[in-house]
Amino acid sequence: MLWSLSSYSFVFYEDTKIWDQKSIVFYFLDGTQKQKNEVKRFAKLWQKYTGIEFLYSNNKPSIFSLKKHYKISFKGNSNQSTRGAINGTIHLGDLSDDIIFRKSTILHEFGHMLGLGHEHQRQDRPSSLNNKQLIQNCRENQNQTKAWCEENLSNITSAEVFIESEYDASSIMHYALKNIVGEDTRLLKDLPTADANTLSYTDKYFIAMLYNQNISDKTLEQMHRQDLWNQEKFENVENAKRESAIAKLKTNSCKILKYNDMSNDGKFCESGFMIIGTDNYSFPDSNFKTCYNNKIMIKEKMDQHPYCHLSQKQLANKRQQWSHTFSEYGQCKRLDSNMKNKQEFFCREGFSFVTKNNDMVGNKTVCFSSKESAYLAMQKNAVCNMNDFEFRRHKTNMDKTIKAQMITKSCQVVLKKYDNIKCPADFEYTIIDRDMQTKPINNKCFASKYQAINAMKNMPFCKS
């Protein structure tokens, strides 16, 4: 979510209209009582440092009023504010269901009202903010036009500066870049850490310098420390409420998986919440592979998606269908837990895949947490994607490799030759000393040549 259409940076410019009143009247043009109360509650933070009293009215402003005032509207689909003391309007039409983010949005727009511009659009901003990929991510994650994103991110103001601080990535007037970048963590790593939820010390210091110079540095520092404590307490309480509310969301066949918890098929979120089945397995659907933090979004997906309105019997039938769907791909098939391949390897927990004649694919058996992830791995595997001719040639090469592995300098895997050796039925392979060839080494028999090869690899005599 973005805040404002202003293109000015976080500095005071020569053309800024500064408030010269002891109080400002804000006229609510619409909105619920809850919305109005939150504005009053959160805007108090600016009052502390400006020394200006904020008054509120539900009436329309009089056309005969000589004092500068501001209007507030909750209509529309964006958050923006005109800049400075110019009888402007604060639009709060796109407030999140997250009260912490609502607070930062309100503080940001009130900052514009007091004369502040965008911190990320000042002339001395970091060069990393010039990355063109940021505009593309803005378009995708903020659902905005290219022109809008360039106006609010790329454009750098050239107006003359009246008051200027050092660049401050913690300023409330800086866009929260993580909301713009989305899941592009590589891009986010190169950008400033700008995700403030409240006023920074610099915000407070410079707004006090402009409007309220009676505050001493010592007093301001004390006030700031108290603010930080209040903010931490506020976020802890509200995050706990939000998490509790999200965790309670449930339908016939869907429930919430909290971060750091794990589904039966190994899915989890390091942060945020995932929608999974009431049987504690995830769903093979892209809508349910994302970790969400927005309660409204999660509820909408659970209300609208047909998977979340299945009966328990229907869910069980779906699981069987998905299990069959994910059982084979091309030349490969899935092996479930404890099922061995020809080479005698298996997964005690999870799933692996082999060729359709049960040969191991590659040099080792890899275990996957879910049937779906094993199926996705099959789709990407070169052997599984071979045509019949290519696969026959691959199998021939595999047979040659296995034959070569049956012989070492000292030992060899052979079919059982000695009648005096008692072995269980179908245990036809033995390991012999190539020089002596009188009897199997340690009188052991094996069910397959693969099992015998694995045993031979661990025998010190055969390694020499």
Looking at the structure, do residues 411 and 294 belong to the same domain, yes or no?
Answer: no
- 394 in a structural domain: no
| Res 163: pLDDT | 65
Residue 320 per-residue DSSP state: H
Who wins on pLDDT, 51 or 130? 51
331-364 per-position pLDDT tens digit: 999 999 899 888 888 898 889 999 998 988 887 8
**309 and 221, same structural domain?**
no
8 pLDDT higher than 50: no
Global pTM reads 0.70
Is the residue at 2 inside a domain? no
For the domain that residue 127 is a member of, what is the CATH number?
A: 3.40.390.10
**Segment among 36-40, 389-393, 428-432 with least mean pLDDT:** 428-432
Residue that the structure tokens 């010039």 belong to:
130
Tally of structural domains, the chain: 4
**What is the identity of the amino acid at 193?**
T
HEC string of 13-57 equals ECCCCCCCCCEEEEEECCCCHHHHHHHHHHHHHHHHHHCCEEEEE
Q: Does 159 share its domain with 264?
A: no
Domain boundary among the residues 321, 339, 356 is at: 321
Same domain assignment for residues 85 and 130 = yes
pLDDT over 80 (residue 48): yes
Task: Say if residue 65's pLDDT is above 70.
Answer: yes
In this predicted structure, what is the pLDDT of residue 1?
27
Residue 16: the pLDDT is: 64
Q: Average pLDDT in the 112-116 region? A: 91
Task: Supply the range of the domain harboring residue 39.
Answer: 11-237
Parallel, antiparallel, or unpaired for β 53-57 and 23-28?
parallel
| Residue range 70-74: mean pLDDT, rounded | 95
Order of strands across the sheet that contains 332-335: 328-329, 332-335, 352-355
> What pLDDT, on a 0 to 100 scale, did the predictor assign at position 161?
59
Last residue of a domain, one of 389, 424, 440: 389
* pLDDT tens, position by position, 253-298: 999 999 889 998 888 888 889 999 999 999 988 778 788 888 888 9
Task: Give the pLDDT mean for 42-62.
Answer: 94
Alpha carbon distances (Å) from 236 to 35, 57, 451 = 21, 32, 57
Q: Identify whether residues 263 and 354 lie together within a single domain.
A: no
Q: Is the pLDDT of residue 301 over 60?
A: yes
Q: Verify that 18 and 116 share a domain, yes or no.
A: yes
Does 132 share its domain with 169? yes
Q: Is residue 128 part of a domain?
A: yes
Please give the structure tokens belonging to residue 77: 């689909």
| pLDDT > 70: percent of the chain | 94
Residue 401 lies inside a defined structural domain of this protein: no
Q: How far apart are the first and last CA of the chain?
A: 67
362 falls within a domain: yes
Burial grade of 39 (CB within 10 A; 0-12, 13-18, 19 or more): buried
Question: What is the structure's pLDDT at 28?
Answer: 96
One domain for residues 287 and 330: no
On whether residue 247 sits in a domain, the answer given is no
pLDDT over 80 (residue 4): no
Encode pLDDT of 147-194 as tens digits.
Answer: 888 888 888 776 655 666 788 999 999 988 888 887 777 888 888 888
Give me the DSSP letters along 117-134: -BGGGSTT--GGGG-THH
Long-range contacts from 334-340, C-beta under 8 angstroms, 24+ separation: 334/371, 334/374, 334/375, 334/378
**Ramachandran angles phi, psi of 413, nearest 5°:** -90, 125
| Residues 446-462: tens digit of each pLDDT | 888 888 888 888 888 88
> What is the structure's pLDDT at 171?
93
CA distance 93 to 382: 51
**d(Cα 40, Cα 25) in Å, to the nearest integer?**
12
Between 12-16, 125-129, 182-186, 319-323, the lowest mean confidence (pLDDT) is in 12-16
Asked whether residue 57 is domain-assigned, the answer is yes
| Domain assignment of residue 451, yes or no | yes
pLDDT over 90 (residue 236): yes
Q: Based on the domain organization, do 88 and 169 belong to the same domain? A: yes
Q: Which of 226, 197, 167, 194 is nearest to 49 (CA)?
A: 226
**For position 435, what pLDDT does the model report?**
82
The pLDDT of residue 10: 41
Q: How far is CA 399 from CA 26, 331, 431, in A?
A: 83, 17, 19
- Looking at residue 463, its pLDDT comes to 75
Mean pLDDT of 368-387: 91
Q: 58-67, 109-118, 317-326, 359-368: which range is least confident on average?
A: 58-67
Residues 261 and 230 reside in one and the same domain: no
**pLDDT at 5 exceeding the cut of 50:** no
Q: Tell me, yes or no, whether 155 and 297 share the same domain.
A: no
Structure tokens, 333? 């098939």
CA atoms within 13 A on the CB side of 251: 20
Q: Give the per-residue pLDDT at 15.
A: 55
Which one of 342, 362, 389 terminates a domain? 389
Residue 351 and residue 444 share a domain: no
CA atoms in the 13 A half-sphere facing the CB of 107:
27
Q: What's the one-letter identity of residue 400?
A: K
